[in-house]
Structure 1
């Protein structure tokens, strides 16, 4: 039985939708149960297998199954964190690597989500998170969060 311990992290492979399920774990369960049933079926009736050994194997398999559940939940949490992080980049200046190996920059105007993960819209380009090389605050002249003219007045009106 083979159990994948890790997955490669690439610009397109670091995001996995929380609804994605691993089909290998179901076939691994079936294979384990088939092996256990075959051992029971073909054992020597005069020299039966130790029940403690079967309990130990079952406990190991249950522990492995729970570890896989934790890994799946951690992957879903990472995917959510990446999605929220991408949404926080809207309005920021980013520098990114282009398809031809050069660099370009611009302000992130929106974020879209697909099976490969969040994609930032910079100008007329769609950029993956793996292509981003730097992030900076937007130009203060165009950023309402840092424009003093857009700040609410701190004076208070006299109470009547």
Structure 2
């Protein structure tokens, strides 16, 4: 009678606390290894290492430095995202009172004066007449025609 070999490794899903496929949330663009996952992997590596062959201290220091780098890069990325959002809103608000051209129905260009700007989850939105126009749809910006 053959005995199935036992495995001495721990699946990564167990280490990271992953849920069964039916319980997982939908993947987003940020489903990469973040600093928490990196730290869990490092702790698991220490927990499951062979006591007769402990991790090399220089290797441990390199992994700690990598963890610090991941953390700093995450902070930088968050700061840049905030700056980009502020810059986009400033660009949108500077268009209030100006004339903009954007694609309307059937891709026919429409021109109108921006009366307000607001920030939505999808980015800056301009109010032109009775329409909401995403900033990214604007093709041309000109000085509003003078009123007589």
- TM-score band (shorter)? 0.7 to 0.9
Deviation of the 1:93 alpha carbon: 0.6
The answer to whether the aligner puts 1:95 opposite 2:101 as a matched pair is yes
More helix by proportion, 1 or 2? 2
Q: Report the number of matched residues.
A: 121
Flag as ranges the 4+ runs of structure 1 deviating above 4 A. Answer: 22-25
- What do you get for the CA RMSD once the two structures are aligned? 2.3
* Structure 2 spans left out of the alignment, 5+ residues: 1-11, 13-28
Residue in 2 that maps onto 1:126: 132
Indicate how the Cα distance of structure 1 residues 34 and 113 shifts in structure 2: closer, same or farther if over 3 A, else same. Answer: closer
Residue in 1 that maps onto 2:63: 57
* Structure 1 spans left out of the alignment, 5+ residues: 2-21, 143-160
Residue in 2 that maps onto 1:35: 41
Kindly indicate whether the alpha-carbon contact (under 8 Å) linking 1:91 and 1:138 is maintained by their aligned counterparts in 2: yes
Q: Give the number of the structure with larger relative contact order, counting CA–CA contacts within 8 Å between residues 6 or more apart.
A: 1
The answer to whether the aligner puts 1:80 opposite 2:110 as a matched pair is no
Kindly indicate whether the alpha-carbon contact (under 8 Å) linking 2:35 and 2:70 is maintained by their aligned counterparts in 1: no
Kindly indicate whether the alpha-carbon contact (under 8 Å) linking 1:95 and 1:104 is maintained by their aligned counterparts in 2: yes
The whole-number CA distance in structure 2 between the counterparts of 1:83 and 1:111 is 8
Indicate how the Cα distance of structure 1 residues 56 and 68 shifts in structure 2: closer, same or farther if over 3 A, else same. Answer: same
Cα deviation 1:78-136 (Å, max 9, x = unaligned):
10011011111011010001253221001111112221122111111110001100000
User: What TM-score do the two structures reach when normalised by structure 1?
Assistant: 0.67
